[in-house]
Amino acid sequence: MALQSPPDFSDPKIIRDPYRAFAWMRTHDPVHWCEHHKAWLLTRFGDVNAAQVDAKRYSSNRMRQLADAQLSKAKRAVLEPFVEKASRWMYSLDGKEHEAGRKVLGKAFSPSAIEALGDAIQQIVDDQLTQLSPRPEMMVELFNKIPAFILAYLFHIPAEDALKIRNWTDAIIVCMVGSTDPAYGPKQALQAIEEMYGYFSRLIGQRRRAPGNDLVSQVIVAADKSGMSEADGLAQLAFVLVAATTTSADQLGIILFYLLEKPTRWAQVRDDPELIDVAIEEALRICPAGQLSHRVLTEDVVLHGKTMRKGELVFLMRAAANRDPARFARPDQFDLKRTKLDHLAFGRGPHFCMGRLLFKLEAKILFTTLLRRFPHMHLIKGRPPLWRGNSLQFRGLSRIQVDLAPSADAITRCFSAAPWEKKGGYCRALRAGNLIMTSGTVAFDEQGKPFAEDDVYGQTWRCLEIIETALKQLGTDRTRVVATRMYTTDMELWRKILKAHKKFFNNCEPTTMLLCVKALIAPQFLIEIEAQAVVGQL
Ligand code: HEM
């Protein structure tokens, strides 16, 4: 139902579901003065787009105005150290200072640098997927962790510190345009930014003494070269975390929401993985995790008959612009056939998001792996996803619980990781839910001949290496295998097979040994037996 009057943005119900309010503003009041935020709200695609490329009239130096707009004079002093720090982020800078901030990060976020992160991201995803419970709440068990662990990898910091990052960035960003949630007020934001800056100053000190090839060391070198102060270098590093952690986690949740919203959609993308890219872009369009950005006017601007005054705050409502029917046909529909995908989720102009390629890569790897590993995943009846209601700027879910559905036909088989063995499948791995099994006999070489025929140990070792690659393809590793089966036709060979197996599996013997298999049973048949045995225990 359409909204009849100007929306009240102090109402958490409107924040939980803001799209009717955005539609009202787009149609009736595209330059809307919001008394609650003390800001002008622009909602049409053309206006938002034009403002974000017009850095001359729409300045990004915004932190003080944001604090002034939401706090009384008496309370502003509390937030002053926060405002000072956040005003040094590239996000809050204009012109040459802004360019310098982007430059110190430029190399680390180039397309080739991001592409090179693919294997590391896959490893992080695989590790996390093996730890999911059968009915996980995905924000807590997965999406809050993945971006934080990727950033920990980039910064070379311990994984256990990564989750502190999510807590700090939540506290920092949720308070930026004012929060209705007492758990996310100015005090929490100040405490978080101080803890975070303390952590990263110590880290910079360590990396100065012992440089590496991580992002922190790279920024130190680039900042020194350009004459940037250490405090400004630190501000840019800290901002990467602020910009990347909460937004990415929330956007991953939003992508999952749209993929599971209609029961057939998950299957549609699963059966045609080429749709994953469109699904990611369409989720960014229909529901960007960062719903708006702010600017401060450097001169009076007249738009649609309204005069916005110099010094006033303007909110560029990207989420509203992304559903402007003047730009996108049937804008409220999540459409996997959409070809026009030039949304504003990552902004445009001088402040265009530096992390967009990283986000798209992590989303693609994560959803490709989820779709392959859990082809029947679905929402749980009676446990609908819940949207947060505490920030107009940062949209996300507080809960999205799913059933991973590891049913019999959700068994993932990997007959062999060596392509020339695909038919024989003698060195293979299989996953049913969280249970992983392997079996192996003879490893072949690329010409289809048994590998190192005279060397039983070498032959078995090769077989186990192929199994290891198969395990990787299933998103797991040898430490998670619960059953291994080795076959031979000759008992004489067993001692050496056993030796290789024990070395590979950390002193563990095979759980099953099959002897005298003169004619190998069809591999599908063997896999079926294994699969049935396992499914019975799930
Ligand atoms: C889905 C996830 C993300 C969304 C929706 C998003 C969105 C945005 C938007 C809208 C801006 C422009 C802000 C403005 O114009 O005021 C921005 C800037 C930025 N983003 Fe992202 N971002 C995401 C993920 C990331 C990631 C993963 C990183 C880095 C690892 C990152 C780094 C940055 C940086 C450094 C800027 C500042 C650019 C500047 O001020 O020149 N973002 N982001």
- Stretch among 211-215, 344-348, 525-529 having the lowest mean pLDDT: 525-529
Q: Are residues 513 and 529 in the same domain?
A: yes
Tell me, using a 6 A CB cutoff, whether residue 103 lines ligand 1.
no
pLDDT, tens digit, 9 for 90 and up, residues 231-271? 999 999 999 999 999 999 999 999 999 999 998 999 999 99
Whether the predicted pLDDT of 485 surpasses 70? yes
Find the 89 Cα to ligand 1 centroid distance in Å: 12
Q: Are residues 394 and 509 in the same domain?
A: no
pLDDT, tens digit, 9 for 90 and up, residues 422-459? 666 678 888 776 678 888 877 888 777 778 878 989 98
Whole-number percent of the chain with pLDDT over 90 = 63
Sole residue written with tokens 């008496």: 74
Tell me, using a 6 A CB cutoff, whether residue 346 lines ligand 1.
yes
Q: Are residues 449 and 513 in the same domain?
A: yes
Find the 239 Cα to ligand 1 centroid distance in Å: 9
Q: Which of 346, 380, 403 is the last residue of a domain?
A: 403
Whether the predicted pLDDT of 530 surpasses 80? no
Helix (H) or strand (E) holding 315, with range, is strand 313-317
Tell me, using a 6 A CB cutoff, whether residue 354 lines ligand 1.
yes
Whether the predicted pLDDT of 86 surpasses 60? yes
pLDDT value, residue 537: 39
Q: Are residues 443 and 469 in the same domain?
A: yes
Q: Are residues 380 and 506 in the same domain?
A: no
Q: Ligand 1 atom closest to Cα of 236? A: 35
pLDDT value, residue 236: 94
Whether the predicted pLDDT of 527 surpasses 50? no
Asked if residue 490 belongs to a domain, the reply is: yes
Tell me, using a 6 A CB cutoff, whether residue 353 lines ligand 1.
yes
pLDDT value, residue 169: 87
Tell me, using a 6 A CB cutoff, whether residue 289 lines ligand 1.
yes
Q: Are residues 162 and 276 in the same domain?
A: yes
Asked if residue 378 belongs to a domain, the reply is: yes
Residue with the bigger pLDDT between 133 and 369: it is 369
pLDDT value, residue 381: 93
pLDDT value, residue 185: 79
Tell me, using a 6 A CB cutoff, whether residue 168 lines ligand 1.
no
Closest CA to 336 of 271, 279, 281, 283: 279
pLDDT value, residue 534: 44
| DSSP-assigned letters across all residues of 359-411 | HHHHHHHHHHHHHHH-TT-EEPTT---EE--S-SSB--EEE-BEE----GGG-
How deeply is 422 buried, as exposed, middle or buried, from its count of CB atoms within 10 A (0-12, 13-18, 19+)? exposed
Indicate which residue's Cα is closest to atom 7 of ligand 1. 346
pTM of the model: 0.80
Q: How far is CA 496 from CA 48, 288, 434, in A?
A: 70, 57, 30
Token code pair at residue 237: 């590093």
Write the CATH number for 364. Answer: 1.10.630.10
pLDDT mean over 172-184:
77
Name the phi and psi angles at 326, rounded to 5.
-70, -15
Whether the predicted pLDDT of 349 surpasses 70? yes
Average pLDDT, the chain: 89
pLDDT value, residue 517: 46
Bin 445: left if φ > 0, else alpha if -120 < ψ < 50, else beta: beta
Asked if residue 333 belongs to a domain, the reply is: no
- What is the distance between the alpha carbons of residues 42 and 49, in angstroms, rounded to a whole number? 10
Number of folded domains in the chain?
2
Asked if residue 297 belongs to a domain, the reply is: no
pLDDT value, residue 515: 59
Find the 91 Cα to ligand 1 centroid distance in Å: 9
pLDDT value, residue 410: 57
pLDDT value, residue 532: 44
Token code pair at residue 345: 């989720």
Q: Ligand 1 atom closest to Cα of 252? A: 1
Please give the residue range of the domain that contains residue 388: 78-289+354-403
Tell me, using a 6 A CB cutoff, whether residue 102 lines ligand 1.
yes
Indicate which residue's Cα is closest to atom 32 of ligand 1. 355
Q: Are residues 520 and 379 in the same domain?
A: no
Tell me, using a 6 A CB cutoff, whether residue 347 lines ligand 1.
yes
pLDDT value, residue 57: 98
3-state secondary structure of 488: strand
Whether the predicted pLDDT of 524 surpasses 50? no
pLDDT mean over 59-85:
88
Tell me, using a 6 A CB cutoff, whether residue 62 lines ligand 1.
no
Q: Which of 403, 435, 469 is the last residue of a domain?
A: 403
Q: Are 48 and 317 in contact (CB under 8 A)?
A: yes
- What is the distance between the alpha carbons of residues 188 and 170, in angstroms, rounded to a whole number? 10
Asked if residue 210 belongs to a domain, the reply is: yes
- What is the distance between the alpha carbons of residues 29 and 263, in angstroms, rounded to a whole number? 37
Sole residue written with tokens 């013997």: 509
Q: Which of 403, 428, 463 is the last residue of a domain?
A: 403
Q: Ligand 1 atom closest to Cα of 90? A: 40
Pocket test for ligand 1, best of 282, 353, 360 (most atoms within 8 A of CB): 353
- What is the distance between the alpha carbons of residues 481 and 439, in angstroms, rounded to a whole number? 11
Q: Are residues 280 and 137 in the same domain?
A: yes
Whether the predicted pLDDT of 177 surpasses 80? no
| DSSP-assigned letters across all residues of 258-312 | HHHHSHHHHHHHHH-TTHHHHHHHHHHHHS-SB-EEEEEESS-EEETTEEEPTT-
pLDDT, tens digit, 9 for 90 and up, residues 458-475? 989 999 999 998 888 777
Helix (H) or strand (E) holding 419, with range, is none
Q: Ligand 1 atom closest to Cα of 348? A: 15
**Biggest distance spanned by C-alpha atoms of the chain:** 92
Asked if residue 58 belongs to a domain, the reply is: no
DSSP 8-state code for residue 5 = S
Asked if residue 314 belongs to a domain, the reply is: no
Pairing mode of beta strands 397-399, 313-317: unpaired
Q: What is the CA radius of gyration of the chain?
A: 27
Angle between helices 263-271 and 356-373 (to 10 degrees): 100
